[in-house]
């Protein structure tokens, strides 16, 4: 892993994934569904329910990105995913309840180390951005719960594809007017780092879950356990 001053000087803009990287999606959604599932008399594991939901959402978004149809909004993908999971669990639900569950994504809180790290990165002169699969209005609504305003908040909605399609990373370069080789993309997901790396960006993998990155030629430039370690490698003070 290259962490020299020469490496750091390449980086002008740090781009973050939001869901699962900035905000704790698994924990936040699990806490939200516990009372809901209890009310529905479903006695399974709420954490597993959220895992099924997120996995189905990811699969459906990849299908959407690879299809020739028009881009489907993240919110609709999410509603279809959580509905499918409740169907599998034999949970009776209403359209309003599905909409409420997806709304909880907008209220997710950041991981404990995130805000301090973002402030330190900004103090050290880096421009900061979000590039997310979330819809533009969802990302805007989430700002009050995250408590930090990035220099740029970019939704893939404008690109018309979900990450890791190359056009999403190209959109970030276009919107920020930053050369791709001067961008560091940060994500908790290997697929997102692979997408950014194959496009030509530097990448940092935040390995909170202590999982192997995988056998791919597009290995991350930095592999860190959390935002604190990332920030310490990128800052001087």
Q: For residue 184, what are the β-bridge partners? A: 14, 202
CATH of domain 25-106: 1.10.150.240
The two structure tokens encoding residue 53: 């939901």
> Would you place residue 9 in the very low, low, confident or very high pLDDT band (cuts 50, 70, 90)?
confident
Residue 3 has pLDDT above 60, yes or no: no
Q: Where in the chain are the domains?
A: 5-24+108-234, 25-106
Residue 33 has pLDDT above 60, yes or no: yes
Residue 223 has pLDDT above 70, yes or no: yes
Nearest to 149 by CA among 236, 24, 22, 9: 22
Residue 73 has pLDDT above 80, yes or no: yes
> Would you place residue 45 in the very low, low, confident or very high pLDDT band (cuts 50, 70, 90)?
very high
Yes or no: say if 219 and 213 are a contact pair by the CB < 8 Å rule: yes
Per-residue confidence (pLDDT) for residue 237, from 0 to 100? 62
3-state DSSP helix/strand/coil % of the chain, to nearest 5: 55, 15, 35
Per-residue confidence (pLDDT) for residue 36, from 0 to 100? 98
Yes or no: say if 64 and 71 are a contact pair by the CB < 8 Å rule: yes
Per-residue confidence (pLDDT) for residue 1, from 0 to 100? 44
Residue 154 has pLDDT above 60, yes or no: yes
Question: How far apart, in Å, are the Cα atoms of 96 and each of 8, 83, 138, 159, 199?
Answer: 48, 11, 17, 29, 39
Same fold, 5-24+108-234 and 25-106: no
* pLDDT tens readout for residues 55-72: 999 999 999 999 988 999
Residue 98 has pLDDT above 80, yes or no: yes
pTM: 0.95
Per-residue confidence (pLDDT) for residue 8, from 0 to 100? 77
Specify the CATH architecture of the domain 5-24+108-234. 3-Layer(aba) Sandwich (3.40)
| Mean pLDDT across 112-126 | 97
Residue 25 has pLDDT above 60, yes or no: yes
Residue 5 has pLDDT above 70, yes or no: no
Per-residue confidence (pLDDT) for residue 2, from 0 to 100? 47
Per-residue confidence (pLDDT) for residue 6, from 0 to 100? 60
Per-residue confidence (pLDDT) for residue 135, from 0 to 100? 98
């Amino acid at each position: 892993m290259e962490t020299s001053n020469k490496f750091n000087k390449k980086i002008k803009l740090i781009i973050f994934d939001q869901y699962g990287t900035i905000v704790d999606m698994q924990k936040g959604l699990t806490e939200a569904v516990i009372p809901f599932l209890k009310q529905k008399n479903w006695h399974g594991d709420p954490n597993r329910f959220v895992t099924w939901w997120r996995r189905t959402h990811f699969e459906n978004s990849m299908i959407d990105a690879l299809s020739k149809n028009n881009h489907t909004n993240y919110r609709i993908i999410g509603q279809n995913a959580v509905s499918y999971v409740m169907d599998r669990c034999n949970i009776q639900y209403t359209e309003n309840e599905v909409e409420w569950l997806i709304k909880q994504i907008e209220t997710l809180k950041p991981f404990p180390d995130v805000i301090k790290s973002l402030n330190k990165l900004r103090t050290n002169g880096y421009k900061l951005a979000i590039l997310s699969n979330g819809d533009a209005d969802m990302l805007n609504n989430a700002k009050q719960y995250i408590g930090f305003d990035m220099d740029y908040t970019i939704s893939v909605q404008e690109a018309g594809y979900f990450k890791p399609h190359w056009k999403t990373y190209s959109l970030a370069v276009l919107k920020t007017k930053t050369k791709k080789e001067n961008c560091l993309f940060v994500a908790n997901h290997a697929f997102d780092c692979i997408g950014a790396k194959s496009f030509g960006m530097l990448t940092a993998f935040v390995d909170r879950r202590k999982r192997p990155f995988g056998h791919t030629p597009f290995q991350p430039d930095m592999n860190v356990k959390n935002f604190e370690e990332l920030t310490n490698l990128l800052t001087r003070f």
